[in-house]
């Protein structure tokens, strides 16, 4: 069955290409025809670059919500899976070359060291201290590519765990999905935050504005979630998110209050301050410890997941802060101006 025909569904629109790799993948999804990039062509591209990261993002989205008018069976197209495999190979090779080799315990301990306001590399410190409302809007638009699928790729690891690791992971995921209440699903809370900020809340709406530095952390969690062989690295990624979330969320909640972003904007981060403080303990004592007791050979993979997540988040922070400190947009194109009600006059 050709892409674009048959079992298609409504979803996000296909993004604009950023080079030959993404152009051929997106064109194939529209028509089901054409010559897809070879492994050699993919290897010649920078694995962290706009073209490679967008092509990978598009292929991963076939496993989530798909795209408007694209055949749902494209998810398992052998031709597309071959392209994805080559993109993943290049991405993983780059990450393994750039991530320092540490033990899992050492890597986890490093996560507990909070960045200071003076180190200059923390987005949450910057936004808390001096961020403007337009910068918070940009941050939310970019993070929507992650938060509107929050927890989804982590669920894929559940059938691959057992015992304490599975029980702890399931308990945290239950909270992430609203503890049985649809209105409290964390992805929904983030959509409510976006509405307070005058942003479009549709899934995947801002992909065309997101630089590669935003796409790569999203692609990392999809990569780790989809491969059983990388389950240890996914747990390392998950641990990084949960251990570092609560302090950062506290600073972002303060930034939302200072700029008068709105009650839903504040609530999303306030919720994460409380929930992730609990999750941090569970992920360290049950999920990571349980996994390594069952499968001690996965310790290097857990450490790699922690290191790769930190590397890509640092690249994103550098991208955002270098732009904002120069007074320019961090997006590939600025957001349309809207009037956002604010309780803090003068914050724009």
Q: Is the pLDDT of residue 231 over 70?
A: yes
- Band (pLDDT 50/70/90 cuts) for residue 153 is very high
pLDDT in tens, 117-132: 667 789 999 999 999 9
Q: Is the pLDDT of residue 347 over 60?
A: no
| Contact between 247 and 114 (Cβ < 8 Å) | yes
**pLDDT on residue 274:** 74
Q: What is the mean pLDDT of residues 161-165?
A: 97
Closest CA to 291 of 228, 254, 227, 236: 236
The highest-level CATH class for domain 104-325 is mainly alpha
How far lies 22's CA from each of 30, 154, 206, in Å? 12, 26, 17
**pLDDT on residue 304:** 96
| Contact between 88 and 223 (Cβ < 8 Å) | yes
| Contact between 44 and 16 (Cβ < 8 Å) | no
- Percent of the chain residues topping a pLDDT of 90: 79
Please give the residue that has the higher pLDDT: either 148 or 341: 148
**Rounded to whole angstroms, how far apart are CA atoms 119 and 282?**
29
Q: What is the mean pLDDT of residues 61-83?
A: 96
Q: Is the pLDDT of residue 103 over 90?
A: no
pLDDT in tens, 27-47: 999 998 889 999 999 999 999
**pLDDT on residue 220:** 98
- Band (pLDDT 50/70/90 cuts) for residue 346 is very low
φ/ψ (deg, to 5) at 249? -65, -35
Helix (H, G, I), strand (E, B) or coil at 347: coil
- Percent of the chain residues topping a pLDDT of 70: 92
- CA 326, distance to chain mean position in Å, is 25
DSSP class per residue in 32-58: S-SPPPPHHHHHTS-TTSHHHHHHHHH
Mean pLDDT (the chain, rounded): 91
């Amino acid at each position: 069955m050709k892409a674009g025909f048959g079992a298609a569904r409504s979803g996000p629109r296909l993004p604009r290409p950023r080079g030959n790799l993404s152009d051929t993948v997106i064109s194939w999804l529209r028509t089901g025809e054409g010559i897809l990039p070879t492994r050699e062509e993919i290897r010649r591209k920078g694995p962290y670059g706009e073209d490679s990261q967008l092509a990978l993002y598009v292929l991963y989205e076939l496993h989530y919500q798909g795209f408007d008018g694209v055949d749902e069976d494209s998810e398992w197209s052998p031709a597309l899976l071959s392209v994805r495999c080559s993109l993943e190979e290049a991405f993983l090779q780059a990450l393994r070359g750039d991530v320092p080799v540490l033990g899992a315990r050492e890597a986890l301990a490093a996560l507990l060291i909070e960045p200071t306001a003076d180190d200059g590399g923390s987005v949450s410190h910057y936004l808390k201290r001096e961020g403007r409302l337009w910068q918070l809007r940009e941050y939310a638009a970019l993070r929507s590519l992650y938060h509107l699928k929050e927890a989804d790729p982590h669920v894929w690891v559940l059938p691959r765990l057992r015992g304490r690791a599975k029980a702890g992971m399931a308990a945290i995921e239950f909270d992430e999905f609203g503890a049985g209440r649809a209105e409290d699903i964390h992805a929904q809370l983030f959509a409510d935050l976006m509405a307070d900020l005058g942003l479009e809340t549709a899934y995947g709406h801002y992909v065309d504005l997101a630089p590669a530095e935003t796409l790569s952390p999203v692609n990392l969690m999809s990569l780790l979630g989809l491969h059983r062989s990388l389950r240890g690295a996914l747990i390392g990624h998950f641990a990084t998110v949960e251990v570092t979330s609560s302090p950062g969320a506290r600073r972002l909640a303060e930034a939302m209050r200072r700029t008068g972003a709105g009650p839903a904007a504040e609530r999303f981060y306030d919720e994460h301050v409380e929930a992730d403080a609990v999750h941090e303990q569970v992920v360290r004592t049950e999920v990571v410890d349980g996994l390594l007791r069952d499968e001690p050979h996965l310790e290097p993979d857990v450490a790699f997941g922690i290191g790769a997540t930190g590397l890509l988040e640092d690249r994103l922070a550098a991208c955002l802060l270098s732009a904002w400190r120069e007074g320019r947009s961090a997006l590939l194109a600025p957001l349309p101006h809207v009037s956002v009600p604010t309780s803090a006059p003068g914050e724009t």
